[in-house]
Structure 1
């Protein structure tokens, strides 16, 4: 799903959440959960239903702060990495560990 402009929200279980990403694999879920919890958010994850038992398990991740929009959080540089640097779009998408302040090359 990655960063997209639309702020979507709904429910995971009985809790209202702001969706971060849907239909993601476990390693992506773990990365986002750790990053968002590091930034003070309560994170909820839910398993997607599989059509076939041999299909990979996918997840939906959300935060209980329904005002949080990940696009705004990243582009306004409100999120911090585990090392205290600011999260960039490339870092968020797990393309690089580099967090220079430029959005362009």
Structure 2
């Protein structure tokens, strides 16, 4: 899974200029990101990556048409919302947990 490195990656899918959200994701991750981003008002563009061999799993590129979208900024500024209306945390974004408490750290 990709990390949140803050880099703004953009380009084109077909004739559409896009900001890349994640590349090389499986179908489950693609569906999660598509649903989350569309819920937050983004137009999502998907692209199937070419398989090297027939046995390889199908991977996808997920992008949005908003040219200034940066997942790192939106997550850490707490601007993305879950389908239930909670703020998206980094762990929620990476599907590590469904927990959406606002802290980024755990106290012992």
Q: Distance in 2 between matches of 1:84 and 1:2?
A: 24
Partner of 1:69: 70
- Relative to the length of structure 1, the TM-score reads 0.98
CA distance in 2 between partners of 1:5 and 1:100 (Å) = 22
Task: Check the 8 A contact 1:2/1:21 in 2, yes or no.
Answer: no
Secondary structure class of the residue paired with 1:32: helix
Residue ranges of structure 1 left out of the alignment (5+ in a row): none
User: Normalising by structure 2, what TM-score?
Assistant: 0.95
2:10 corresponds to which residue?
9
Shift of 1:5: 1.5
Show structure 2 runs of 5+ residues with no match. none
Q: Report the Cα offset of residue 2 of structure 1.
A: 3.6
Match of residue 58 from structure 2: 57
